[in-house]
Amino acid sequence: MKNEWFAIEITVKGEFVEPVSALLADAGSEGTVIEERILDTFVVPDDDLDGAEDYQLKSYFSKAHNPQKLISELQEAFQQTPALMNKGLNVQLGAPIRLEDWAESWKQNFSTMKIGKRLVIRPSWEDCQFQEGLAVVEIDPGMAFGTGTHGTTRLCLETLEEFFSGSNPPRNMLDVGTGSGILALGAAALGCATIVATDIDADACNVARENTRKNGFDQQITVTDQLLDALPGRYDVLVANILAEENVRLKQQFIDHLAPGGWLVLSGILKEKEDFVRHGFSSLPLDHISTRYAEEWVCLVFRRQD
C-alpha cells in the first residue's frame, strides 16, 4: 500500500456539505474531514451545520490519483450537479499526508472494546491482559474503513459474535466490501474456518491482508479484489457492510452466493433507508430474522430458505 496521500481542500456552505462529500466519495476519497470532524462512507454530516456558514472540507486521496486531473474532474462534477452549479466552489490541492500521520490522529478516539461475550477489538498501542477464552483481534486505524468503533461495523460484529458463539456455528463466510478486514478478522477470531474477504479497492485489500497477517489468520482468510460475480461458491454467512443502494444493487449476487439456510447480514444502512432495503430483498427466498439499531444505523439479518 502506498504510504503517502494528498488532500483536496474545498470551502463550501453548510447546506452543500452533503452533496459535495458524496461527490468526493464517488471520486475515490478515502476519508473527508470538516474542521476536524470525520466524514466517511458511513458518516452523515452533522445536523447542526449552519447552512449559510462556510466550512473547510479536506478530502484525502491516494497518490494513485493525478491531483490536477482530479481537481478538474471534481470541478466538472460540481458543474453537472444542479444543486452545486455556479456556486463558485474553490477546489485546491492541500499538503501531502503520510499514513502514520493519519493513523496518529485516530489514537485519541480508539481504545480496546469488548463486543458480545467473547470478542475483543484492541489497538496495538494498548497493552492489555485478557482472560482466557476471549477472541482478540488487533487492528490499527488506516486509510481503509473499519476499526469496529462505527455503529454499522459494531452491529455486524455483534451479530457475528452471536452466530459463532452458538451451538451450530457457520463453517464459512463471505465478507463483501471488507475494507480493513475487521469483520473477517472478527469471524476468524471467533472460530470461522474459511473466510473470503473481497473489496474492489486494491488499497483496502492490502490493508486487510496486512491485518490478516498480523493476527495470524492467513490460513483462514483469503483477501481478494475479484468482483463478486467472479467468485465461486456458496457460504453459510454473507455479510455486507456497504451503502443501502449497493446492498440492493447486489442482491441477486448475494443470494447466488448464499447456501440454503445461510445467514445474510446487511448493514451500512441509514434508518430512513431500511424500508428501501427490505423492499429490495422482499422478492428473494429469504426470511427476515432480526433488525438491529445503533444511533441512525440499521443492520438487517435474513436467512435463506432451504
Ordered domains of the chain (ranges, CATH) = 4-104 (3.30.70.240), 142-304 (3.40.50.150)
Q: Return the beta strands (E) in 99-157 as ranges.
A: 113-115, 119-122, 135-138
State residue 128's pLDDT score: 65
pLDDT at 126 over 70: no
- Burial of residue 50 (CB within 10 Å: 0-12, 13-18, 19+) is exposed
State residue 149's pLDDT score: 53
> In the numeric block, which cell numbers belong to residue 58?
479536506
pLDDT, average across residues 227-247: 93
State residue 118's pLDDT score: 85
**Cα–Cα nearest to 153, from 259, 29, 290, 40:** 40
Question: pLDDT band at 17, cuts 50/70/90?
Answer: confident
Supply the mean pLDDT for the chain.
83
pLDDT at 34 over 80: no
Task: Give the Cα separation of 229 and 59 in Å (integer).
Answer: 31
Q: What is the pLDDT of residues 170-183, one digit of tens each?
A: 999 999 999 889 99
> In the numeric block, which cell numbers belong to residue 280?
429490495
AA letter at 56: Q
Q: What is the pLDDT of residues 58-67, one digit of tens each?
A: 888 877 788 8
State residue 304's pLDDT score: 97
Task: Give the Cα separation of 127 and 173 in Å (integer).
Answer: 30
DSSP code, position 45: P
> In the numeric block, which cell numbers belong to residue 69?
486531473
Question: pLDDT band at 35, cuts 50/70/90?
Answer: low
As beta bridge partners, residue 241 has 267
Instruction: Indicate yes or no: pTM above 0.85.
Output: no
Q: What is the pLDDT of residues 199-220, one digit of tens each?
A: 988 878 888 899 999 999 999 9
State residue 19's pLDDT score: 84
DSSP code, position 287: E
